[in-house]
Amino acid sequence: MTEITINIEGIDSIDFFGVNNSRFNFIKKSFPTLRMVSRGSSIKAEGSNDDVAVFKEKVERMIDHIERYGKLTEDNIEAIILSNEAPKEKKDKEPSNVIVHGNGGLLVRARTENQLLMVRESEKNDIVFGIGPAGTGKTYTAVALAVRALKEKNVKKIILTRPAVEAGESLGFLPGDLKEKIDPYLRPLYDALDDMIPPDKLTYYMENRVIEVAPLAFMRGRTLDHSFILLDEAQNCTDMQLKMFLTRIGANSKCVITGDTTQIDLPPKVKSGLLTALRILKPIEGISTVILNETDVVRHKLVKEIIKAYDKLNETRAIDETSNNS
């Protein structure tokens, strides 16, 4: 006889056990040769070596199903118990542009060619720069890649960070504790996470520092191993800040850096470190750059036209400056 305990901490207990233990009772009926009991966030099962091994593999697949699809039904449980198909074989049947399964069955996809290129370059390289104007989905795609890496257990944690720079306006004194002061700068990252991870599980991850959302200044002095690290709004980093961030990357980690070089909010005489990094890091193997443009805009259709109008204005200004200097 063998006895095992399977911990499902981090999984919503109702998602797994069902209301009034309905799904757990269904699982028990499917394994009549085992004695099992649920206690909090764990399951204890006792039986023959072979039966316990099969039970453990099936429960792990159920947990994987919840992590990938955000839900588990009795039909899913029955299919997993009856099937001998490995989880990865099923995953290979998904459309190639699906990055991760979000809340309520939401399919988070790479919706344009350049977004899909970001996904592919991240799979091949440890550092990827995703550069493009507002609305091109670079941040959302990067967060989806981070969530996928965590769900597939390729990393142990996610680090999401931004420089706390005001977008062309002075917000003055912000009330509240430190978290309340910095959260407005990090809100876009929270919004993306809300789409991809159930609220209870996201709270668990945040409380246990599996997912960290913090301003860039908090990265100094750290070594980030086994992590997926996203630096957003990198155009607002100085040379020293971006160098500091890039040298935090540790063993078995991946990094995506996103930025919009047309929306730099640094003081007039301060040069963007992103521009420097794109130039000097380009020859290094393992670092890739993906350029997104107005064709990748996935917001309101007018955003494309707005970007084109401002690009035209910048071109006109550049021509005028050249004429004035000559």
Q: How many residues does the chain have?
A: 326
Task: List, in order, residues 6 or more apart from 113 with CB less than 8 Å away.
Answer: 296
Largest CA distance in the chain: 89
**Which of 218-227, 277-286, 289-298 is predicted with the least confidence, judged by mean pLDDT?**
289-298
Sign of the alpha-carbon torsion through 205, 161, 189, 232 = negative
Q: Which helix (H) or strand (E) holds 38?
A: strand 35-39
Q: What is the DSSP string of 60-98?
A: HHHHHHHHHHS---HHHHHHHHH----HHHHHTTS-TTE
pTM: 0.69
Q: Give the model's pLDDT for residue 10.
A: 63
- The residues with which 230 forms a beta bridge, in sequence order, are 160, 256
How many helical (H) and strand (E) elements, i.e. helices and strands, does the chain have? 12, 11
Once rounded to an integer, what is the mean pLDDT over residues 210-224?
Answer: 90
| pLDDT, tens digit, 9 for 90 and up, residues 121-156 | 999 999 999 999 988 999 999 999 999 999 888 999
**Does the pLDDT value for residue 167 go beyond 90?**
no
Give the Cβ contact number of residue 206 at 10 Å: 15
Question: What's the pLDDT band for 169 if we cut at 50, 70, 90?
Answer: very low
18-46: pLDDT as tens digits: 888 888 888 888 888 999 988 877 889 99
The pLDDT assigned to 79 comes to 85
Q: Which residues contact 266 (CB under 8 A, 6 or more apart)?
A: 165, 236, 238, 272
Q: Name the pLDDT band for 175 (thresholds 50, 70, 90).
A: low
Per the listing, tokens 């344009």 go with: 112
Q: Is 254 a residue whose pLDDT tops 80? A: yes
Which tokens belong to 228?
């997926």
Q: Report the mean per-residue pLDDT for the chain.
A: 84
Q: What is the mean pLDDT of residues 279-305?
A: 86
Check: CB of residue 83 under 8 Å from CB of residue 35: no
Distance CA(122)–CA(128), nearest Å, equals 6
d(CA 119, CA 29): 42
User: For residue 94, what pLDDT is reported?
Assistant: 52
Assess whether pLDDT exceeds 70 at residue 95: no
Nearest to 35 by CA among 22, 54, 48, 53: 48
CB 144 within 8 A of CB 217: no
